[in-house]
Structure 1
């Protein structure tokens, strides 16, 4: 008889558990691999405008991509070698799993900090703050049935289901499908992060017919980059890059301010009130400084 069958069941379970996790536990740190190979693999989404999306040529672009390029420049200087960015497509469903498994080195999109997800991955310092809000039509009087479009598996869906339990919830694959459903009167509201809804509204054919409500989000969510576990040195490099960028914006450093305004300034891709964002930058820097000291 095979000796394995003579072992207690719990021992067999533990044996296979070790085999399954060995590869993850001994994965080469990102910094070491970049030093050797000069490649940084970035997860990129096509549906997180204006943070990560594809331009008219199908190339990844967005505010978060620009921040990644700042990180690339810092790492090239620190490691004294050139680094190539390799983009790997991810989506709302698989993005956390590919980070956890180390299939990508970094994910900077519209992912919100979550304590449960932090059990399986490292988070950078936050670089943007938003919250769950609703996109509605200005001419909707909200009858007896209040239909809210939600994207399953998102924190937004959980938030509105807790706070607006009386509503009817309609599952949708993404925000673009939600906008169409809203325009065709199949839903009365679309739930998502306020900044993403505002970007969607401004890019829609009839932006003046849509509004993001309520003025204050139902909850606060902080965007942060996700990093595979066991990469504290890489996490520190990402944090330093983000903190210096935010401080640069506050100090009106031309390079950093130009990057910020390109996306959110008065003539940017998605013009917004910058004061709440700057206040968030100040709080983040102050908190991180206090934790360091």
Structure 2
């Protein structure tokens, strides 16, 4: 009797575990059943995802996720909600791997090493590793960082870029960009390394932004931003890629709605962190050209 009960329980557990594993693997089916996309993004990465002065969670990545939600809703033929989940540098990969989120769009850089455990969509922005420094320090070339204390967030592409490009720099580990800014303003580090576009946003959080600058003019290493999704989910990835390519196609072909979204965050006149359309258009055009051109009847 005891052996039969034990065998029954074990069989039930294995069956349940197998169902959970199979269910976790079908992201698009889960979204269709629940009507919800669990999407990870940041609250500390101006202009991609952050809390504005009115206390509202906003950002370029949030607008991109909304575009994806609308397209998914249309393709699945049912209402779909977007459930935003905060992610950090430390937990973003684990939340994708354990199924806590279905997609992460923030300011995450594609690397081949990361691609071993998560999948990436097409890129939807590009930046590069630079440093935030106090003005008039003369910092900006490879040589000038030798012997200086440079703050970096551990296990980021920025840390790797500084190690490779500036082997004589003294790396100081910081928890996040906020701590990096605090240490820079306090003078305990000479520079803080991160993506150039994020450093421009970080300046806005300083008590004296006019005393800071982002250097050099050209990045030490270039970064290609993409959304992350769980591995081996081609249908889900294709659906997201369709939305991203259509959005970028709308920008390069000067469609009002996608251009308005881009200009809100990166416009040279009124954008949160200006980034020239000419530069990004060339980048987006290269991505669009590698896919089928989409008739923009929705814009």
TM-score by length of 1: 0.86
The match for 2:179 is 177
Q: Report deviation, 1:20.
A: 8.8
The match for 1:13 is none
Q: Give the secondary-structure state (helix, strand or coil) at the position aligned to 1:285.
A: helix
Q: Give the secondary-structure state (helix, strand or coil) at the position aligned to 1:246.
A: helix
The match for 2:272 is 269
The match for 1:99 is 96
CA distance in 1, matches of 2:248, 2:219: 23
CA distance in 2, matches of 1:118, 1:59: 32
The match for 1:253 is 255
The alignment covers a number of residue pairs equal to 272
CA distance 1:47–1:20, change in 2 (3 Å): farther
CA distance in 2, matches of 1:141, 1:226: 37
Question: Is 1:148–1:167's contact at 8 Å kept on the other side of the alignment?
Answer: yes
The match for 2:242 is 240
Question: Is 1:159–1:219's contact at 8 Å kept on the other side of the alignment?
Answer: yes
CA distance 1:190–1:78, change in 2 (3 Å): same
Question: Is 2:45–2:201's contact at 8 Å kept on the other side of the alignment?
Answer: no
Greater alpha carbon shift after TM alignment, 253-262 vs 281-290: 281-290
CA distance in 1, matches of 2:240, 2:222: 22
The match for 2:49 is 52
Question: Is 1:99–1:227's contact at 8 Å kept on the other side of the alignment?
Answer: yes
The match for 1:278 is 281
The match for 1:108 is 105
CA distance in 1, matches of 2:132, 2:71: 38
| 1:127 matched to 2:117 | no
CA distance in 2, matches of 1:219, 1:273: 19
**Deviation string for 1:74-102 (max 9, x for gaps)?**
11111111111112222111111111222
Q: Report deviation, 1:199.
A: 1.5
Q: Give the secondary-structure state (helix, strand or coil) at the position aligned to 1:216.
A: coil
Q: Give the secondary-structure state (helix, strand or coil) at the position aligned to 2:172.
A: strand
C-alpha root-mean-square deviation of aligned residues, in Å? 2.2
| 1:42 matched to 2:49 | no
CA distance in 1, matches of 2:272, 2:138: 31
Q: Report deviation, 1:193.
A: 0.6
Structure 1 gap segments, 5+ residues each: 1-18
Structure 2 gap segments, 5+ residues each: 1-15, 294-299
